[in-house]
Amino acid sequence: MAVVYMRKLEQEPDSYDSKFTALTKGVNLDVREWILDKINTSKSILEVGCGTGSLASQMALKGNKVTAIDINFQMINFAMQNYPSDLKDGTLVYQTGSFNNMPVDGNSQDLIVSTFMLSELRPFEQQIFLRNAWKVLKPNGRLIFAAEFVPKGFWKLLFKI
């Protein structure tokens, strides 16, 4: 997606989710449901690029310990106001942060989730993100990320089918 348009959306947390859903034609909602379906309970989860906090909140409501970070303070503020961290079964902590400085200990996370963030990073930043993600994952931990891309060449044919 156009990075400039995404940056504009990120400055409008109140309307971000609805505009992003329109932009992706609802694919983001399908991705969210797929992720929630794959997650068990009682896991330590780090969400990188949590945006408005809606996915982080749903993961915590399933009984998980979730740390949700985003580089954008406006998004974190929106998340704290709209998806409170006082949950019955899980825990949820929001922090301003980035993939460069993940606020969790090494080998401490069962799962790292990141949706639609990688496309906003340059290739070397993507490598840094992945390297840092592996450092904080527990042995046998999992990384789930969703990224949009424009299929080219052979892949373009497959996506037309």
Dist CA 13 CA 149 (whole Å)? 24
Where along the chain do its domains lie?
3-160
Q: How does pLDDT run across 12-63, given as a tens digit for each residue?
A: 899 999 998 888 889 999 999 999 999 988 899 999 999 999 999 999 999 9
pLDDT at 129: 93
Q: CATH code for 3-160?
A: 3.40.50.150
Q: How much is the pTM?
A: 0.86
AA letter at 73:
F
Q: How does pLDDT run across 109-155, given as a tens digit for each residue?
A: 999 999 999 888 899 999 999 999 999 999 999 999 888 765 566 65
